[in-house]
Amino acid sequence: MLSKLNTLCLKGIDGREVLAEVYIASGLPAYSVVGLPDAAVKEAKDRVVAAVRNSGYDFPAKRITVNLAPAEIKKAGTHFDLPIALGVIAASGRLGKKPPARFTDTYFIGELALDGALRPVAGVLAMLLALKGRGVTAVVPAGNSAEAAISGVNCLAASSLKDVASWLSGENELIACSAAATVQTSSGSGNDFSEVKGQPFAKRALEIAAAGFHNVLLVGPPGAGKSMLARRFGALLPPMTFDESLETTKLYSVSGLGVTGRLIGERPFREPHHTISDAALIGGGSSPRPGEVSLAHNGVLFLDEFPEFSRPAIEALREPLEAWKVTVSRVRESVAYPARFLMVAAMNPCPCGYLGHPTRECACTPLQVHKYRAKVSGPILDRIDLQVQLSAVKYADWEALPRGESSAEIAGRVLKAIEIQRKRFKGGAKANAFMAGAELRRHCALPEGASAVLETAMNKLGFSARSLDKILKISRTIADLEGASGIKREHIIEAVQYRMLDKAAALAAGF
């Protein structure tokens, strides 16, 4: 006998409909799965056999063929257990002569335990979103109940195979999925900008970065507060919109990190260790998974000790920094993960960390310094608008320093600047950092006397033509923060301060 059920699978971060067909024929007992399944799907057999038997059904000793269609999509994950088991039970005639009416317009997702219980799986939200607005029903494990409720699709939660089987034959009803109680996130607890004393330039640079979506490079000696600042940076960004939350939650759902059942409402802050591989950073694997850049989608990617990252990892950042997405291509498939993140990179001024330190002597040779800095290649530096130097803070000074502005105060200014940009770019997620060519010339008209400033900067400080574009973009953001319609001379002068690595003197590290 033949049975057909609807289920879903993931392609990238989007759900796709899959039809699971189970056919039981007479012959030598055998079980085969066709339709491009991965290892986990093939393993489903052992779980399915045990779960079916432990739920009080017979597992037919016949020739069983499972087909997952369409065959060209690679099927990964353990959530095919439930549809396969139900297919076997239905095809062996235990649910009546005809397929149950509830098979149509119902989608089944779930991993089985050997005793027939249903276990939560990854990617439920992303899969269910494919059904949105279709008026269909989905059956998900009870453990995914809260996550499934976010999707807005009509979902039922089941806790075992037996539950689902008896629901299909109309013997009982399943309860609808309900959203988790919203937990108030304790914002600002111990992570406020006012706790960072000193570092006025770095703080200002981060404010500008948040306002114009500019990537930042923090250069400073150990202990200057680079990580401390970066961890507080997220608080400066505007609150997430619903679409942004949904997108981010989807990515977390796909990577199996989001089974908390809540929409992610805070911008993600990802801080991968510098030994991370390029595949883990960008996304990949034989069955692709989102990397750190995608997990930082709509949030902050903090790369501490930036030059210590492997060269392939650093260079792999080029495309996501430009295209806001990562495309992972494999022989059988190619998937795209969104990756619109703001990068905050931190590094020491030299390998020992004390170049330019007021009291400690740097032990590096100019060649070592040059090699260390050269690890951050030109194309990557090109995608980082703001470069700012942090200074070591002496204890005596540190005591005397006043507390800084709170995150909320800065975030208020940032939000205003972002609203100005929304108007400028007619909605959309575009920001000053992404202006190019004609746009740059239109929105960054130079005021009277400002070209002289730029010329002096080029001649005296050795800036390249390329850094001039960056200076213009930063100036635009500074003007937006002030609410000024046009760029003024002082905006440009301030912007020059955030291109310290471009100075000719900094390039010739030997002095």
Partner 1 sequence: MGAKTETEKLARVRLNFFACYKSDWLLRLMELYGGAAELLKRKAAEIAAEGGVMMETAERLVAQTREADPEKELLAAEKAGVAVLTVLDEAYPELLKKIYDPPLVLYVRGDLKPVPAAAIVGTRKATPYGLRTAARLAGELAASGVAVASGLARGIDTAAHQAAVEAGGVTWAALGTGLNDIYPWENKKLANRIVEAGGALISEFPLDKGPLPANFPRRNRIISGLSLATVVVEGGFESGALITAKFALDQGREVLAVPGPLDSAMSRGPNHFIKNGAYLAENAADIVACFPPEYLFGLKPFGAEAVKSPEASALRALSPDALEAYNVIAAAEGGLNADEVTAKLAWQVQRAAAALFELEISSLLVSRGGRYCRAA
List of residues contacting partner 1 (CB under 8 A)? 198-204, 219, 349, 355-356, 358, 361, 366-367, 370, 389-391, 397, 401, 453, 456-457, 460-461, 490, 493-494, 496-497, 500, 503, 505-506, 508-511
With respect to partner 1, which residue has the nearer C-beta, 200 or 223?
Answer: 200
With respect to partner 1, which residue has the nearer C-beta, 1 or 493?
Answer: 493
- We find the least distance from the C-beta atom of residue 379 to partner 1, in angstroms, to be 23
- We find the least distance from the C-beta atom of residue 378 to partner 1, in angstroms, to be 18
- We find the least distance from the C-beta atom of residue 464 to partner 1, in angstroms, to be 16
In the chain, how long is the greatest CA-to-CA distance? Answer: 90
- We find the least distance from the C-beta atom of residue 242 to partner 1, in angstroms, to be 35
- We find the least distance from the C-beta atom of residue 377 to partner 1, in angstroms, to be 19
466 CB-near residues (< 8 Å, 6+ apart) = 382
With respect to partner 1, which residue has the nearer C-beta, 329 or 456?
Answer: 456
With respect to partner 1, which residue has the nearer C-beta, 125 or 376?
Answer: 376
With respect to partner 1, which residue has the nearer C-beta, 230 or 390?
Answer: 390
With respect to partner 1, which residue has the nearer C-beta, 227 or 497?
Answer: 497
Q: Which residues pair with 8 in a beta bridge?
A: 17
Residue with tokens 């002569």: 97
- We find the least distance from the C-beta atom of residue 213 to partner 1, in angstroms, to be 20
Alpha carbons 212 and 419: distance in angstroms, whole number? 11
- We find the least distance from the C-beta atom of residue 386 to partner 1, in angstroms, to be 13
Alpha carbons 435 and 34: distance in angstroms, whole number? 49
Peptide bond into 100 cis (omega under 30): no
Alpha carbons 386 and 218: distance in angstroms, whole number? 8
Q: What length does the chain have?
A: 511
Alpha carbons 100 and 127: distance in angstroms, whole number? 24
Upper half-sphere CA count for residue 249 (Cβ side, 13 Å): 27
With respect to partner 1, which residue has the nearer C-beta, 25 or 401?
Answer: 401
With respect to partner 1, which residue has the nearer C-beta, 201 or 324?
Answer: 201
- We find the least distance from the C-beta atom of residue 458 to partner 1, in angstroms, to be 11
- We find the least distance from the C-beta atom of residue 484 to partner 1, in angstroms, to be 12
With respect to partner 1, which residue has the nearer C-beta, 9 or 202?
Answer: 202
CA distances from 167 to 82, 143, 185 (A): 14, 18, 38
DSSP 452-492: HHHHHHHHHH---HHHHHHHHHHHHHHHHHHT-SS--HHHH
With respect to partner 1, which residue has the nearer C-beta, 3 or 407?
Answer: 407
Alpha carbons 178 and 183: distance in angstroms, whole number? 15
**SS3 of 174, please?**
coil
With respect to partner 1, which residue has the nearer C-beta, 315 or 494?
Answer: 494
Neighbours of 350 (CB within 10 A): 24
Phi-psi bin for 72: left (phi > 0), alpha (psi -120 to 50), beta?
A: alpha
Alpha carbons 463 and 248: distance in angstroms, whole number? 38
- We find the least distance from the C-beta atom of residue 399 to partner 1, in angstroms, to be 12
- We find the least distance from the C-beta atom of residue 7 to partner 1, in angstroms, to be 57
Q: Which residues pair with 65 in a beta bridge?
A: 23, 32
CA distances from 132 to 121, 136, 219, 251, 253 (A): 19, 8, 47, 17, 16
